[in-house]
Structure 1
Amino acid sequence: MTLYESVADLSLEIDSCSFEPHERETSSDFTRVTTEITLRGGGEIGKGEDVTYDAEDQRGLEELEFGLTGSYTLDEFSAELSKLDLFPVGPSREDFRHYRQWAFESAALDLALRQADTDLASLLDRTPEQVRFVVSTRLGDPPSAERVRDWLDIDPELGFKLDATPEWDDELVSELAATERVRIVDMKAEYGEAEVGQSPNAELYQRVADALPDAVIEDPAYTDETAAVLDSASERVSWDAPITGVESIESRPFEPRWLNIKPSRFGSVESLFDALDYCAERGVRLYGGGQFELGVGRGQIQLLASLFYPDGPNDVAPRGYNDPEPNAGLQSSPLPAPTVDGFRWL
């Protein structure tokens, strides 16, 4: 039985839907706005989180007239949901349609599990494990290793996922390498017109590949100019932004050995679970990715990591690691194995 077949026929009764906005400053110099979605039915509550990045798209969600009350299987609900336009305002980016669909589908999965008096770990017959995580951060403008050093002063055992920029010179990369704590370098070259996107840079890719030989290289652009360095480092090249399902995995320039899994990019539970099965069959190593979740979504991506890729360099740290300044007193890696309730980490 596939992962999705395990959950597809769960019964689902929906009586109402409501929204709760959240807002918080982040370490990436922007104000994060998300919305928790609550589905109610059969005396139970299911929750998901819309991680669409545009604040106006988020605020427009309040205008959505949700008409999917009634009785479904989870698979039937997903099919009906896919027919709706979930953006009364926007979206400002087409990929945000998947983000919002995932918010409703994750809430529906949570509700269906609770109505069946079970949880995701039990239903899939998987044992939750402790979760290793890394701290994801940018290095400022101009970039320096100061933020990494500040975190290591607090916790010398932390690992890092760092966003590279063209200003990363030999001196900075050597300084980062000396810490021996860099697990992933994100090249941000698969983000299209998004503000965080970076252009292909063969020189930067080579510099990082040479100086950080154990680091995963995420979302590089595979071009005529970058192909040589990426082919030579293919065993540690990973993709994130373009990964939206099995077809997108198969469209990579070579079979990936690593992938960053962000559930919202997949849109549906079926697409996510099919991709997890596909990667397990082929031995693709996985790690979870975060999107500055402010509500239940953070625990849900941590739960998926606990069940499917607990030892990866997971970008699912407790949300305090996303605060504007490093601070002491946070949970160190690894996170203890969770208690699972529906589709939630407790």
Structure 2
Amino acid sequence: MSVYDRIAALSVTIESVSRRRYTGATTSGFERTTTEFRLAGDGVVGRGEDVTYETADHDALVGTDPVDIEGEWTIDELSTHLDDVDLFAHEPPTQEYFRNYRRWAVESAALDLALRQRDESFGEYLGIEASPVRFVVSTRLGDPPTTDRVEELLELDDELEFKLDPTPDWPQEAFVTLRETGAVRILDLKGWYEGTDVDVEADPELYRDVFAAFPDAIVEDAAFTPQTNPLVEPQADRLSFDYPIDGVESLESLPVVPGYCNVKPSRFGTLESLFETIAYCQDEGIDLYGGGQFELASGRNAIQTLAALFYPDAPNDVAPRPFNDPEASPPYPKSPIRPARNTVGFEF
């Protein structure tokens, strides 16, 4: 049986629904806002985090009634019901794909609650032992770009690994310094974003420098254009995709069969799509690693737990919160991070 088949019939009793808003500064220079959906029943609470990026979408929830899903369900029944529920009924999302982010918050909260009502962790329910999770630190080089933060973190822990976002304004010395560290595992070209603050131009010169300077690193979200295709297509075995992936169909529609897939559960929206995609990648030999989205609450537990169960040894972009908190100070957690004992639900 697939993972989803095993959780689909899980029963969950929802007696009330509430929300809690979180805000926090980030090391990338913006203030993050998220909303945690809290489903209560039988004396316990299940949590799921809506990681929609635009603060305005969270503002639109203020003063509105929570989604009406009280009752007794199976996980699959609830998911089917949500197909007909507009989680942005009060105001359309600023980006259409944010609908998946909020859907994931509700469905993951329901699974968390169902497991807590059984007094079991996700791993216990599946019969999978949670393993220590290897993580990479995702950071930007700033404006103007410098390698200072990477070097400072390596001075504290010379075994740290990194996921970086190259841009056309990286100076050549940055490529040289970073390559010499031997610590860069993933380079995210962000070539599939449109109309966001993190769009990066599909610059053939940048792509050429990235592929040459880091011959063993995973390269994420490279764009396919007439100018970049000759550089990108021969690198398929080390390509990974994140932004465009929201299910099996999106993977199958890629111009190449990639060597890797970055699993950000909110991208998939439903539990069924998430676990269907994980199974597809396992069957097709596409390596998996977890991705983060500056979660401030239960969402970080969820992505770390998924990594611990399905891809613990990968270069997971699920580093503990202090690495994204500009007010945090050393010592920082070391990789791998070990799951706690006697957890329940999605706790890590």
When normalised by structure 2's length, the TM-score is 0.96
Quick check: 1:339–1:345 contact (8 Å CA) kept in 2? no
User: Could you say which residue in structure 2 is the equivalent of 1:272?
Assistant: 274
Post-superposition CA distance 1:33-66 (Å, at most 9, x none): 1111110112221111111111121122232442
When structure 1 is superposed on structure 2, of 273-282 and 82-91 the one drifting more is 82-91
User: Could you say which residue in structure 1 is the equivalent of 2:125?
Assistant: 123
Check if 1:14 corresponds to 2:14.
yes
Quick check: 1:64–1:86 contact (8 Å CA) kept in 2? no
Q: Matched residue of 1:235: which SS?
A: helix
Please list, as runs of the form range in 1=range in 2, the aligned pairs for 1:1-346 lying within 5 A after superposition.
1-62=1-62, 63-87=64-88, 88-324=90-326, 327-339=329-341, 341-346=343-348
When structure 1 is superposed on structure 2, of 190-199 and 116-125 the one drifting more is 116-125
Once the two structures are TM-superposed, the CA of residue 104 in structure 1 deviates from its matched residue by 0.3
- Structure 1 residue identity aligned to 2:158: P
Q: Matched residue of 2:60: which SS?
A: helix
2:142, 2:118 → 1: CA distance?
48
1:123, 1:280 → 2: CA distance?
20
Post-superposition CA distance 1:166-205 (Å, at most 9, x none): 1123322111101110111110111121110112111111
1:174, 1:104 → 2: CA distance?
45
When normalised by structure 1's length, the TM-score is 0.97
1:320, 1:65 → 2: CA distance?
31
2:24, 2:224 → 1: CA distance?
35
Post-superposition CA distance 1:88-107 (Å, at most 9, x none): 23311111100000000000
Aligned residues: 346
- Structure 1 residue identity aligned to 2:77: E
Q: Matched residue of 1:17: which SS?
A: strand
Once the two structures are TM-superposed, the CA of residue 326 in structure 1 deviates from its matched residue by 7.0
Matched residues, percent identical?
A: 48
1:135, 1:61 → 2: CA distance?
32
Once the two structures are TM-superposed, the CA of residue 222 in structure 1 deviates from its matched residue by 1.1
Quick check: 1:303–1:338 contact (8 Å CA) kept in 2? no
- Structure 2 residue identity aligned to 1:166: P
1:343, 1:246 → 2: CA distance?
26
Once the two structures are TM-superposed, the CA of residue 340 in structure 1 deviates from its matched residue by 6.0
Quick check: 1:150–1:326 contact (8 Å CA) kept in 2? no
Q: Where does structure 1 lack aligned partners over 5 or more consecutive residues?
A: none
Specify whether residues 326 and 185 from structure 1 end up closer, same or farther in structure 2 by C-alpha distance, changes over 3 A only. Answer: farther
Specify whether residues 309 and 13 from structure 1 end up closer, same or farther in structure 2 by C-alpha distance, changes over 3 A only. Answer: same
Quick check: 2:32–2:53 contact (8 Å CA) kept in 1? yes
2:336, 2:57 → 1: CA distance?
34
1:56, 1:341 → 2: CA distance?
34
Quick check: 1:111–1:342 contact (8 Å CA) kept in 2? no
- Alignment root-mean-square deviation, CA: 1.3
1:96, 1:133 → 2: CA distance?
26
Q: Where does structure 2 lack aligned partners over 5 or more consecutive residues?
A: none
